[in-house]
């Protein structure tokens, strides 16, 4: 029998091999942390769109794994978009730290806004997934440059518990999973998450620190002026009842695609819905 993680690794590696190579840079934000971001230009044969798309990934992964390996970057550049992906602190090429005080989605939202400022453009479209959706919602509530907003992999938990649904994913349990000496003692779902994080080269102390700093303070939806898309997999336990989130936002529509939390983002219907929403 094939190891499922081996299959996932093969898919990620194939996706990364097919993805265009970005221009990568860093910015040192106000607390001294170095944040990495990646940029792709529109395909030369299509008319460029004036509004860049900024992408924010979820927990354990980074821009390249979340967005590039799953085809979103290629789909957006083919539609004439400049694409900028931000590696959240503690993830990807951004600076690491085991200190929970340096994490939390509000802090990451300030990092995201620092990158948006560097782009020196009047407007951006912003898309996030899972933890990246919480970051993007918080940023959009403070950043008037966000023209359109996509939030994926989240649902009623944002409204009812104030962030990523900790009823399904407890932060303390998650932190312990990344600090445990013996992963075989963990619940099966935590074993799988830890194994995936190890596969993509994630920094365990940083992940544990972020898990202990998960945002539960809610989002001021009334401050979000962007037209928004809520998109979720129909079998995603972290995005149950996404209509509750869409209804809480002033100007949002909802799209469901087939898949769970890990597979919905790879669904061509997910990519198509995002590209169409940002194009129209």
CA 111 vs CA 6, 127, 140: distances in Å: 33, 15, 13
d(C-alpha 263, C-alpha 113), whole Å: 28
Lowest mean per-residue pLDDT among 1-15, 70-84, 266-280 = 1-15
pLDDT, tens only, 72-121: 999 999 999 999 999 999 999 999 999 999 999 999 999 999 999 999 99
- Whether pLDDT at 175 is above 60: yes
CA 175 to chain centre: 19
Inter-residue contact 90 to 35 (CB < 8 Å): no
Question: Which residues have C-beta within 8 Å of that of residue 46, sequence separation ≥ 6?
Answer: 78, 79, 80
What pLDDT score does 88 carry?
Answer: 98
Token pair belonging to 225: 């002026």
Q: What is the DSSP string of 198-248?
A: HHTT--HHHHHHHHTT---S---GGG--SEEEEEEETT-GGG-SHHHHHHH
Pair 223, 142: CB distance under 8 Å: yes
Looking only at the bridges linking them, the beta strands covering 146-152 and 34-40 are unpaired
Over residues 26-31, the mean pLDDT reads 98
pLDDT at 188: 84
Dist. CA 260–CA 237, nearest whole Å:
7
Q: Region 10-38: what's the mean pLDDT? A: 94
Whether the per-residue pLDDT at 2 is higher than 80: the answer is: no
pLDDT tens across 54-77, in order? 999 999 999 999 999 999 999 999
The predicted structure's pLDDT at residue 224? 97
Tell whether the model's pLDDT for residue 179 goes beyond 60.
yes
Q: What is the pLDDT of residue 38?
A: 98
Confidence of residue 1 (pLDDT cuts 50, 70, 90): low
| pLDDT category of residue 253 using cuts at 50, 70 and 90 | very high
Buried b (16+ CB within 10 A) or exposed e, 220-246: ebeebebbbbbbbbeebebbbebebbb
5 falls in which pLDDT band (50, 70, 90)?
confident
Q: Are 165 and 154 in contact (CB under 8 A)?
A: yes
């Amino acid at each position: 029998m094939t190891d499922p993680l081996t299959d996932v690794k093969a898919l990620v590696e194939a996706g990364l091999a097919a993805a265009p190579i970005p221009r990568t840079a860093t910015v040192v934000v106000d607390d001294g942390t170095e944040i990495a971001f990646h940029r792709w230009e529109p395909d030369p044969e299509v008319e460029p769109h004036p509004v860049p798309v900024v992408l924010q990934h979820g927990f354990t992964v980074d821009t390249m794994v979340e967005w590039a390996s799953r085809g979103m970057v290629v789909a957006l550049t083919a539609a004439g978009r400049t694409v900028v992906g931000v590696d959240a602190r503690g993830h990807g090429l951004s600076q690491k730290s085991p200190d929970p005080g340096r994490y939390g989605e509000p802090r990451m939202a300030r990092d995201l806004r620092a990158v948006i400022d560097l782009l020196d453009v009047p407007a951006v479209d912003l898309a996030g997934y899972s933890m990246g959706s919480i970051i993007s919602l918080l940023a959009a509530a403070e950043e008037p440059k966000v023209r359109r907003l996509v939030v994926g992999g989240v649902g009623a938990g944002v409204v009812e518990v104030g962030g990523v649904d900790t009823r399904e994913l407890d932060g303390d349990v998650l932190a312990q999973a990344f600090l445990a000496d013996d992963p075989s003692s963990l619940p099966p779902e935590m074993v799988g998450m830890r194994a995936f994080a190890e596969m993509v080269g994630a920094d365990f102390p940083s992940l544990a620190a972020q898990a202990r700093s998960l945002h539960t303070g809610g989002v001021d939806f009334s401050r979000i002026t962007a037209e928004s898309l809520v998109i979720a997999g129909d079998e995603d336990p972290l995005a149950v009842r996404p209509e509750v989130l869409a209804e809480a936002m002033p100007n949002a529509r909802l799209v469901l695609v087939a898949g769970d939390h890990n597979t919905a983002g790879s669904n061509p219907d997910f990519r198509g819905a995002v590209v169409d929403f940002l194009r129209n």
